[in-house]
A and B are shown apart, each in its own frame.
Chain A
Amino acid sequence: MKSTKIWMALILAVVVIAGAVVFWQQQAPDEEGGVAVVSVDGKEIMRLNLNEDGEYPVKTDGGTNTITVKDGSVAVSDADCPDQVCVKTGAISNNTKPIVCLPHKLVVEVQAASSDIDVTAQ
């Protein structure tokens, strides 16, 4: 049937394009001297210099996430959310993928450092 072929072609196109993007995301290099931006509920709450190791507990309405900066990358090392997806995501060191904790509405993303911003925890 004609419509079956159209659907199959569309799905194949999605697989190829999405696959290529995922591959590109995996290959992306580290963001040298970047900053980790932590947001809760859409509001930025801290910026962390990726060159300075440290641990920062973040309290949200849903619970606590511990953000750890180590060796130029950032991770959620501990969280009391039910699914632990943010912890299992592991460390990120570039802006291709953020760390997301859906239950706590927390997002950690890496951005290139801009010179006019003093990168310290607020």
Chain B
Amino acid sequence: MSTRKLTTLSMLTAVALGIFVLEAQVPPPVPIPGVKLGLANIVSLFTLFWMGRREAFTVLVLRVVLGSMFTGNLMTMIYSLSGGLLSLAVVALFKRTFSLKTIWLASIVGGVFHNIGQILCAIVILGSAAIISYLPILLISGIASGLFTGLACQYLVQRMEKSHRSLHFD
């Protein structure tokens, strides 16, 4: 791995970690288990589109593992990993169907699968399928937060395109 790449990945992980830890301090906006903005996903998405699949998975796993250590919650790690990995896997799988202009769309798909992953994880942890009733509202909240983080990521990519001509997209 080149020094440049290593530095970039470290920096992206640090940014994601900072956002993740900050957001963990904010109380849940609505009394529905699992609803949050997921601002750190801006970085996962950015890494996926700006660098590639492997890099995005690396940054995601590092951020979640380190972030859970900082917030001191093992459960956070299990929920964040199950949501984050499923979400990234689906978006990465269909990456070719998105362009740099439709990152917001990729992000919505990611938001939906993030919440599906988390609810599946919660069913296993709680040992009760009753929480499946929260799936509809979590699908809608995943779409809303996915749109928000996706637009944020898209503005970021547009800025990066202007300043970095070496933007590559595999």
Q: Are B33 and A102 in contact (CB under 8 A)?
A: yes
A54 to B134, CA, bound (A): 27
Within the complex, the shortest CB–CB distance from A86 to chain B, in Å, comes to 8
Within the complex, the shortest CB–CB distance from A21 to chain B, in Å, comes to 4
- From the candidates A3, A17, A107, name the one contacting B126 in the complex (CB within 8 A): A107
Binds B, one of A64-72, A88-96, A113-121: A88-96
Q: Are A100 and B126 in contact (CB under 8 A)?
A: yes
Q: Are A11 and B126 in contact (CB under 8 A)?
A: no
Within the complex, the shortest CB–CB distance from B149 to chain A, in Å, comes to 15
- Given A14-B112, A107-B126, is A85 in contact with B136 using a C-beta cutoff of 8 Å? no
Is B128's beta carbon under 8 Å from chain A?
Answer: yes
Q: Are A42 and B126 in contact (CB under 8 A)?
A: yes
A18 to B115, CA, bound (A): 13
A19 to B112, CA, bound (A): 14
Interface footprint category on B: 20 to 34
Q: Are A7 and B105 in contact (CB under 8 A)?
A: yes
Q: Which of B86-118 contact A (CB under 8 A)?
A: 97-99, 102, 105, 108-109, 112
Binds A, one of B10-18, B47-55, B137-145: B137-145
Q: Are B136 and A21 in contact (CB under 8 A)?
A: yes
Is A22's beta carbon under 8 Å from chain B?
Answer: yes
What string of 1s and 0s marks CB contacts (under 8 Å) between A72-113 and chain B?
000000000001110111100000111010110101010000
Within the complex, the shortest CB–CB distance from B95 to chain A, in Å, comes to 11
Q: Are A96 and B133 in contact (CB under 8 A)?
A: yes
- From the candidates B28, B109, B140, name the one contacting A7 in the complex (CB within 8 A): B109
Q: Which of B64-79 contact A (CB under 8 A)?
A: 75, 79
Q: Are B125 and A88 in contact (CB under 8 A)?
A: no
Q: Are A85 and B105 in contact (CB under 8 A)?
A: no
- Inter-chain contacts of A19 with B (CB < 8 A): 136, 140
- From the candidates B105, B128, B133, B143, name the one contacting A42 in the complex (CB within 8 A): B128
A105 to B122, CA, bound (A): 9
A59 to B135, CA, bound (A): 28
Residues of A within 8 A of B (CB): 1, 3-4, 6-8, 11, 14-15, 17-19, 21-22, 25, 39, 41-43, 83-85, 87-90, 96-98, 100, 102-103, 105, 107, 109
